[in-house]
Amino acid sequence: MNLFTDIRTLVIENLTLLQAEGVLPAGLDFKNVAVEPPRDPLHGDMATNAAMVLAKPAKMKPRDIAEALAGKLAADGRIDSADVAGPGFLNMRLAATLWQDVIATAIAQGPDFGRSDMGQGRKVNVEFVSANPTGPLHVGHTRGAVFGDALASLLDFSGHEVTREYVINDGGSQIDTLARSVYLRYLEAHGQEVSFPEGVYPGDYLIPVGQALKDKVGDKYVDQPEDIWLEDLRNFGTDKMMDLIREDMAALGVKMDVFFSEKSLYGTGKIEECLNTLDKKGLIYQGTLPPPKGKELTDWEPREQTLFRSTLHGDDVDRPVKKSDGSWTYFAPDIAYHYDKVLRDYDELIDVFGADHGGYVKRMKAAVSALSDGKVPLDIKLCQLVRLFKDGEPFKMSKRAGTFVMLRDLIDLVGADVTRFVMLTRKNDAPLDFDFSKALEQSKDNPVFYVQYAHARVRSVFRKAEAAGIAVDDATLKAADLTLINHEAELTVAKKLAEWPRLVEIAARTNEPHRIAFYLYELAADFHALWNRGNDLPELRFLQEGDIATSQAKIALIRSVSIVISAGLSILGVTPAEEMR
RNA sequence: GCACCCGUAGCUCAGCUGGAUAGAGCGCUGCCCUCCGAAGGCAGAGGUCGCGCGUUCGAAUCGCGCCGGGUGCACCA
């Protein structure tokens, strides 16, 4: 249920009625008629712009339309009052029973309250993380991982059929580097002194991989030329790195549905097939690109190569798919990979990339547009950088090898729940400051704590109620006399709960899970405010001595608060707190 | 040079398919615990929404042009 769409339906019914009565002309388009919460709650519970958007096509004054509509709406039992304001806004006050119904619905639907069918079962593929299999995940990957996972959950919650996918870049030359790095660790495991020249990965995490290789093959590869061991070590290294990455993701609570191997595209004719498809559309040609501008290139010279005419699909320049020596560029298998997704019949594709891939967006969209004839939208979400702080100072982790802060370090320091929530308190295209000390601080300055605290407070009331012998199971609460919930402070919370289904749809439509985090903060604030009103007004306390019916009604209200907080946190991948410690 | 992102209160940031007097938190000022957890709440002060033009009944939001900051430009992956 979504109260806003219910009321919008009511508004449109009455507009139609006005047409039938000849007050409004026929043939009006109602699609721009919106029902929203007014910015200022003093104006009412809901407002509609109907009169203003219809004024021009109906050739009437907005206020006249609004007056006529107000007359109709005021007659409906659900509307306490409908007033015309300003240039033609229609402000409505809703009957208290509607807000009380929200509570009953929340309890009846439990974790599914707010679930939407707006996705209509559309198949969406969310590709995220996709870190090169050359080492463990670091902070930058973490943001993408959290974002992608939360977005996938959000889309699932709003009626999409979601696939979480990771593409393993196991086909490129960075895997040669990995293989050589593993080889050095392998020699080291055999007691050799090794040095790590430029261009290999020096990280400690490869030490056990070298050891494992020794355990597996003994001294078979010692002092052998590269062509003997390279292919084997590419596979061995990639497998070990993917194990590591899977463990990292598991520690963060991220689980993929599909791991797609880029290598599987090579030698199977898939890339060729994809490029043939483009060729048939006249989008492949032999040509020479102009030199890149604004950059001093000393070794640049014009070369003829195979190009994809991406400019016909919105890109700035055409892009090479083959190098001058005839081998594929990185872009070629990536096009083929996205073609594979299109062929797998997804209705929509989403890629979550790091901000450093910004230059890749247009060409990828161009490729998907070309391959699907514009039928499959591709949305690319770029996650900006994460800057680490401690006590307000930039933070660097001292690591023997490398200055990256690893995902594991984050989780060890603050835990997966805090990491996830903090990463989602900023929209993806804004840089994120992550302050360790703040993330662990127990104050309202820390949104993670603030939301968790609200949930813990609800649970605390439940424990007290149970100790007092009051039944607080959902079946009992659902049957509670909710007309006892009628104080303005309580209805404020119920109204915030009513926004939840609408908020979910907005967040899903924009692919912006951070809106969930901000909403939860607002809901927590309304709840904390109500809690404290109980200090001054004893009748607002949730437990009313000797009045079980009222207590149960009030507990039903805060039960629905905890339901929504749990549902929201579940989308973000965070576990709600039972109590604060 | 070009592309993308950002610019909103002293600071960090929200702001819905364009809606009314632009909202939070921190910081500042003053209040509220014999009370379901004060780890919290209430109130006050604080804004040319970077600048200009345009579209519109209406612009922080859309378009164009500037200014400032970030990221990226290749036969790398």
ipTM: 0.94
Same domain, A90 and A178: no
How many Cα neighbours within 13 Å face the side chain of A124?
Answer: 30
User: Does A158 reside within a domain?
Assistant: no
Evaluate if the CB of A354 falls below 7 Å from strand B.
no
The answer to whether A338 touches A378, Cβ cutoff 8 Å, is: yes
User: Does A47 reside within a domain?
Assistant: yes
How many Cα neighbours within 13 Å face the side chain of A560?
Answer: 33
Residues 1-30 of A with CB under 7 A from strand B: none
The answer to whether A116 touches A504, Cβ cutoff 8 Å, is: yes
Count of CB atoms within 10 A of residue A76's CB? 15
Alpha-carbon torsion (A386, A387, A390, A392), positive or negative: negative
For every residue of A188-246, DSSP letters joined together read HHTT------TTS---GGGHHHHHHHHHHHTTTTTT--HHHHHHHHHHHHHHHHHHHHH
Q: Which nucleotide is nearest to A51 (CA to C1')?
A: B57
User: Does A361 reside within a domain?
Assistant: no
Tell me which amino acid residue A280 is. Answer: K
Question: Helix A361-371 vs helix A331-343: angle between axes, to the nearest 10 degrees?
Answer: 40
User: Does A124 reside within a domain?
Assistant: no
User: Does A102 reside within a domain?
Assistant: no
The radius of gyration of chain A's CA atoms, rounded to the nearest angstrom, is 29
Scanning the structure block, which residue is given the tokens 């079962």?
A121
User: Does A17 reside within a domain?
Assistant: yes
Among residues A129, A58, A49, A63, the alpha carbon closest in space to that of A92 is found at: A49
Q: What is the pLDDT along chain A (581 residues), one digit of tens a residue?
A: 689 999 999 999 999 999 999 999 988 889 889 898 887 777 889 999 999 989 888 888 888 999 999 999 999 999 999 988 877 889 999 999 999 999 999 999 999 999 999 999 999 999 999 999 999 999 889 999 999 999 999 999 999 999 999 999 998 889 999 999 999 999 999 999 999 888 888 889 999 999 999 999 999 999 999 999 999 999 999 999 999 999 999 999 999 999 999 999 998 999 999 999 999 999 999 988 887 776 566 667 778 899 999 999 989 889 999 988 889 999 999 999 999 999 999 999 999 998 888 889 999 999 999 999 999 999 999 999 888 888 777 776 544 444 568 899 889 989 999 999 999 999 998 889 898 888 888 888 889 999 999 999 999 999 999 998 999 999 999 999 999 999 989 999 999 999 999 999 999 999 999 999 999 999 999 999 999 998 888 889 999 988 999 999 999 999 999 999 999 999 999 999 988 87
User: Does A207 reside within a domain?
Assistant: yes
Work out the end-to-end distance of chain A between its first and last CA atoms, rounded to an integer number of angstroms. Answer: 36
Q: Which nucleotide is nearest to A62 (CA to C1')?
A: B57
Helix (H) or strand (E) holding A80: strand A79-85
How many structural domains are present in chain A?
A: 3
CATH code: domain of residue A516? 1.10.730.10
User: A378-383 and A348-354 as β-strands: parallel, antiparallel, unpaired?
Assistant: parallel
Find and list the nucleotides of strand B having atoms within 7 Å of a protein beta carbon. Answer: 1-6, 12-17, 19-27, 32, 35-42, 57-58, 70-77
The answer to whether A577 touches A446, Cβ cutoff 8 Å, is: no
Q: Which of A218, A252, A286 is the last residue of a domain?
A: A252
User: Does A467 reside within a domain?
Assistant: yes
Please give the Cα distance from A204 to A385 (Å, whole number): 25
Evaluate if the CB of A212 falls below 7 Å from strand B.
no
Same domain, A83 and A192: no
Scanning the structure block, which residue is given the tokens 């249920």?
A1
Instruction: Name residues whose C-beta falls within 8 Å of residue A579's C-beta, 6 or more positions apart in sequence.
Output: A456, A459, A460
CATH code: domain of residue A18? 3.30.1360.70
Please give the Cα distance from A511 to A517 (Å, whole number): 13
Instruction: Name residues whose C-beta falls within 8 Å of residue A138's C-beta, 6 or more positions apart in sequence.
Output: A404, A405, A406, A407
Q: Which of A94, A119, A149 is the last residue of a domain?
A: A94
Same domain, A80 and A194: no
CA of A530 to C1' of B42 (A): 11
Instruction: Look up the domain containing A58 and give its range.
Output: 3-94
Q: Which of A233, A252, A271 is the last residue of a domain?
A: A252
Q: pTM of the entire structure?
A: 0.94
Phi, psi of A540 (to 5 degrees): -95, -5
Comparing every residue's Cα with the C1' atom of nucleotide B21, the nearest one is A40
User: A319-320 and A304-308 as β-strands: parallel, antiparallel, unpaired?
Assistant: antiparallel
Please give the Cα distance from A316 to A97 (Å, whole number): 57
